[in-house]
Amino acid sequence: MNTSELKQYLDFGYTVIEEASTLALAHFREPLEIENKVVGSGFDPVTQADRAIEKLIRERIEANFPDHGIEGEEYAARMASGDLCWVVDPIDGTRAFMTGMTGWGLLLGLMESNKPVLGFMSQPYLGEVYTGSTLGANLSRGSSRQALRASQTNCLSNAVLYCTHPDMFADTKELENFYRLCGKVKLPRYGGDCYAYAMLAYGLVDLVVESDLKPCDILPLVPIIEAAGGVVSDIDGNLPLSGGTVVAASTRVLHDRAMAV
């Protein structure tokens, strides 16, 4: 993908994420129809807002790039006829969204040959859009734009760590390792969903460690973090193409030290 093409997709994605953000705000802190996607025990909520937002984004992609694939959270995948595929999480943090908290966001990413090359994270209530690609990482608020840079924290003892909730770790050994890591950092915090990754790119959070992620939960965030100077991998040190357990860090040194715990 050349620079001209990347700019085209960047402009398109920004326009779509802004339109979808307006739709999200129309549902936020309003009565919602909440459905549990889990059969049996457990709770995995989806609302009419999730479905309406993904439907809108899909329609815009299909109208402008009919040969591109689409992988979303709420609807079946649409196969690509080429190397490009969009990844959509209409509301990352549905639990936060349905309870009126602001730790949620809209995620949109573009993959080229199975590699994340462009990412968007919008927090509509705060009026923020985070973007990342080889053109850089930026935070946009209306007409203003700010370059993003992850912190230079290398020591675990100086690090701020975020995780949405420790219940994400179903594997006992992984949970033990996570708590061991929490004992080595300066400040472990819970909550945040996708917004914690945005704060890593911003430079205020140093580590995000989570498990049980879907690809759409993390792939749109990878270009933002990497363009800001951070590192993201699965538990084996590879790109988290399948989601699962993810370690995101502000520096390579900090990432390696977290992985070694």
Give the model confidence (pLDDT) of 185-217 as tens digits: 999 999 999 999 999 999 999 999 999 999 999
- Compute the distance between CA of residue 232 and CA of residue 115 in angstroms, rounded to an integer: 13
Tokens coding 87: 């990844």
> What pLDDT sits at residue 81?
86
Residue 251 has pLDDT above 90, yes or no: yes
Mean pLDDT of 87-111: 97
- Compute the distance between CA of residue 225 and CA of residue 85 in angstroms, rounded to an integer: 20
Confidence bin at 37 (pLDDT 50/70/90) = confident
- Compute the distance between CA of residue 261 and CA of residue 257 in angstroms, rounded to an integer: 7
Dihedral sign for Cα 36, 235, 79, 115, please.
positive
Tokens coding 97: 């969204």
- Compute the distance between CA of residue 60 and CA of residue 12 in angstroms, rounded to an integer: 9
CATH of domain 3-147: 3.30.540.10
CATH of domain 156-259: 3.40.190.80
> What pLDDT sits at residue 40?
74
Which residue's entry shows tokens 């807002």? 49
Q: What would you report as the CA-atom Rg of the chain, rounded to the nearest whole angstrom?
A: 17
Residue 248 has pLDDT above 80, yes or no: yes
Full-model pTM: 0.95
Domain boundaries, the chain: 3-147, 156-259
